[in-house]
Structure 1
């Protein structure tokens, strides 16, 4: 199993590097995460963790108590209604974060321990975190990857989605160039899948000896 000092207790080997993946709306984080998994990394989406948490009865009850029954539909959290409630209200957003973030952190830690103990070990442990830099979480990772794309390409990918919600989410994020400047690695995703795969493969080949930015 993985130890806190980053060594593998069973054979004294270094644990796989712990990597944060981020990027702007429409940049293609989900695609990059899937490719990293194909390339031998263990992967986790923090958004998916949140979605699973929102199905847990105790989380539903706590959210309903804080925000009222209006954010529920048939006894389940309606993510659209919840988003409308918290996005425009910083205090409400912080309250939701206080409910979810400790649970997300615990889920990620448990996943990391399981993934690091796999035999053979993954090439890296990659967690997709949309607001990685905005939340000041980069110090938790050994390295970070920012996925970027031309604004025109990103806009095309977002056609058909809720533009109001997207605009609110985009206002909460750093500009792409700032994410790229703060990341250990930057990959462009306005070309082909093969080009993105090649960039990510090169990152994985480099990342094992990469030191943490702390």
Structure 2
């Protein structure tokens, strides 16, 4: 199976790109969605998070208080590492299970923290969705209502834009109008089909 790892900073447009690739026929595995599956009420992963972070991490319904946990881990690097030790192995296992079951010309692994977790070797190509930092902050503010300070803290916790671009095999520039995205995605899709069918 030919595998593309898709990554980018927060607010860069990874979901828009993966949705377009999925509509063109790629098999998509989004680790953010896997994380939500693994932390649904009643799951072993959620139980471990509650054991580690206490009842403050739980909403009255028993669901994960994502806002609380996000604020906690982006203020405290040790807390972030503890959360990552719980989540990342579980996500990787689930991702590889899904990858083995994909029936598509090629697979796209959407991994926001690809470089931070050192998972580049899982893929034949690394695709980075890129936008300037100021645009990231504005998009996240509009989408999620996070403040500039909160968003900047998240950006600082990730690898730099320069590191991400340096590690890319392919780059999509998503700083233009939405109409500029689909042609770039279509061009890469054709490239990946050729590579997947290659020797």
TM class, shorter-chain normalised?
0.7 to 0.9
Q: 1:43 — aligned with what?
A: 28
The alignment's TM-score, normalised by the length of structure 2, stands at 0.87
The Cα of 1:56 is off from its aligned counterpart by 4.4
Q: Tell me if structure 2 keeps the 8 A contact 1:147–1:187.
A: yes
Root mean square deviation, CA, Å: 1.8
The Cα of 1:21 is off from its aligned counterpart by 0.5
Q: 2:18 — aligned with what?
A: 33
Larger radius of gyration: 1
Q: 1:111 — aligned with what?
A: 98
Write out aligned runs for 1:179-190 (5 A): 179-190=164-175
Q: 2:124 — aligned with what?
A: 142
CA shift digits 1:7-54 (9 cap, x unpaired): xxxxxxxx3x11110112221111111111111111121111111111
Structure 1: which 5+ residue stretches go unaligned?
A: 1-14
Q: Tell me if structure 2 keeps the 8 A contact 1:55–1:77.
A: yes
Q: 1:101 — aligned with what?
A: 88
The Cα of 1:196 is off from its aligned counterpart by 1.6
SS of equivalent residue, structure 1 residue 158: helix
Q: Tell me if structure 2 keeps the 8 A contact 1:123–1:204.
A: no
CA shift digits 1:103-143 (9 cap, x unpaired): 1011101110111xx2xxx2321011111112211111111
Change (3 A) 1:60 1:151: closer
**Mapped pair 1:62 → 2:48:** yes
Q: 1:9 — aligned with what?
A: none
Q: Find the aligned partners of 1:137 and 1:25 in 2 and give their Cα distance.
A: 18
Structure 1 moving runs of 4+ over 6 Å: none
Q: 1:76 — aligned with what?
A: 63
Q: Which has the higher helix share?
A: 2
**Mapped pair 1:209 → 2:195:** yes
Q: Tell me if structure 2 keeps the 8 A contact 1:124–1:204.
A: no
The alignment's TM-score, normalised by the length of structure 1, stands at 0.81
